Amino acid sequence: MADAPEETVLHGLADTALNDADAPGPAIKALAHLTGATVVRLSFRAGQTMAEHTARWPILVIGQAGSVAFTVGDQTTTLTPGTAIHVEAEVTHALTATEDSALTLVVLTPHTK
């Protein structure tokens, strides 16, 4: 069995072109399943939302393109390129794109070998 690579390079994190304008929600694409993390691209068209939900593991959400309102409780943070938010596991949150946008979601899974 071959050893796992020591590094993984990911491309397309800021790509907003994958989402169908008529889709009810964002395009979601898993980019990598890594030791301790899963990396996912979320691509939104302006006005698309992700209704309130929770994640099983802590998450880090990074703005890559556009602008997304990210709400946790009564606090809303605007995710733009260079802005990130960390949310603990099982905390309810929701997202609304105010323009065509892309986010990188890093699901911080338990480290296992």
Residue ranges making up the domain that contains 92: 40-107
Q: Which pLDDT does position 1 carry in this prediction?
A: 46
Residue 91 lies in a domain: yes
pTM, entire model = 0.89
pLDDT, tens digit, 9 for 90 and up, residues 13-53: 877 766 676 778 899 999 999 999 999 999 999 999 999 99
* Domain total of the chain: 1
Q: Say how far apart CA 79 and CA 95 lie, in whole Å.
A: 10
pLDDT, tens digit, 9 for 90 and up, residues 68-112: 999 999 999 999 999 999 999 999 999 999 999 999 999 999 876
Find the CATH number of the domain harbouring 83.
2.60.120.10
Residue 90 lies in a domain: yes
Give me the residues paired with residue 69 across strands. Answer: 78, 96
